[in-house]
């Protein structure tokens, strides 16, 4: 599901860290090893060329704490109520700032550990520098969650098979690629997906790609659930 205008703003501008709800204890092993952690609503830091965000942005959210051992190894413990609507998108971000035609490669590898309950998706969120277009790549999903927009059929591109949706959240165009089966590890070749949107479908022009984010879009995680990005890297440019 695409982020709201509020989430768009928090992605573009680093909001001041602020306390948010009751503190939820971090998982024992990550907390002991973590070089950084935060329970602030918009807690963020930069590590190894990546920016990490706690990013609790939705209404009716509960508590959530983020930890990180590095820019590519991090996770959260989230306790959001069993209600509808996205509560948070904790994520890591790599800045690209190159146009689609000037990119020679852009790919990412992911390895995650996610709960079997709750409602969430594990996804890439890719933005152009003007925040006019949002490309979401869902690699797994659990519970009653779904993308914005209408179905555009299926395609195999970037090393995966996807069901494609196209719509708008009122602030920007949203193109969602939902993997046809759940995956907790793999590599996504992002550049062919961008070229498919631009050249094959003509849905956008030669946009400058700004942010490549990867994280967990959490709707509910009642009781406190753990999400971990064991190793997530973005390469190319």
d(CA 172, CA 225): 31
Segments in the chain forming alpha helices (H) = 5-12, 28-33, 190-195
Across the beta sheet with 208-220, the strand order is 44-47, 50-53, 91-99, 208-220, 119-128, 133-142, 173-179, 160-168, 150-157
pLDDT at residue 29, as a whole number: 42
- Dihedral of CA atoms 200, 163, 7, 63 in degrees, nearest 10, equals -160
Burial category of 225 from C-beta neighbours within 10 Å (exposed 0-12, middle 13-18, buried 19 and up): buried
d(CA 171, CA 133): 9
At residue 237, the 3 state secondary structure works out as coil
pLDDT at residue 32, as a whole number: 54
d(CA 128, CA 198): 12
Indicate the pairing of strand 44-47 with strand 73-79: unpaired
pLDDT in tens, 93-131: 999 999 999 999 999 999 999 999 999 999 999 999 999
d(CA 92, CA 69): 12
- Which domains are seen in the chain, by residue range? 5-236 (2.60.120.180)
Torsion 46-59-5-152 (CA) sign = positive
pLDDT at residue 237, as a whole number: 76
Pair 18, 9: CB distance under 8 Å: no
pLDDT at residue 30, as a whole number: 54
Q: Return the ∠ at Cα 90 (arms to 85 and 95), rounded to 5°.
A: 120
pLDDT in tens, 214-233: 999 999 999 999 999 999 99
Q: What would you report as the CA-atom Rg of the chain, rounded to the nearest whole angstrom?
A: 16
Of 84, 87, 12, residue with least CA distance to 44: 12
d(CA 130, CA 107): 21
Residues in the chain where the model's pLDDT stays below 50: 1-29
Residues in contact with 128: Cβ distance below 8 Å, sequence separation at least 6, in sequence order:
204, 207, 208, 209, 210
pTM metric for this prediction: 0.88
């Amino acid at each position: 599901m695409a982020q709201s205008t509020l989430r768009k703003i928090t992605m573009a501008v680093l909001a001041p860290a602020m306390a948010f709800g009751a503190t939820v204890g971090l998982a024992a092993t990550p907390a002991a090893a973590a070089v950084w952690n935060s329970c602030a609503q918009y807690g963020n830091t930069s590590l190894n060329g990546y920016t990490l965000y706690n990013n609790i942005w939705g209404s009716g959210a509960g508590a959530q704490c983020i930890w990180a051992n590095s820019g590519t190894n991090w996770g959260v413990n989230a306790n959001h109520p069993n209600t509808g609507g996205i509560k948070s998108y904790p994520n890591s971000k790599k800045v690209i700032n190159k146009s689609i035609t000037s990119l020679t490669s852009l790919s990412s590898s992911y390895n995650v550990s996610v709960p079997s309950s709750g409602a969430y998706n594990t996804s890439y969120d890719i933005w152009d520098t003007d925040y006019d277009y949002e490309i979401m790549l869902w690699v797994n999903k659990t519970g009653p969650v779904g993308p914005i927009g209408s179905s555009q059929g299926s395609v195999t591109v970037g090393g995966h098979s996807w069901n494609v949706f196209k719509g708008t959240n009122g602030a920007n165009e949203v193109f969602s690629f939902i993997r046809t089966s759940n995956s907790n590890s793999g590599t996504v070749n992002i550049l062919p997906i961008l070229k498919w949107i631009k050249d094959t479908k003509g849905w956008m022009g030669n946009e400058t790609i700004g942010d490549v984010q990867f994280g967990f879009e959490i709707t509910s995680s009642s009781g406190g659930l753990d999400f971990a990005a064991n190793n997530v890297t973005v390469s190319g440019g």
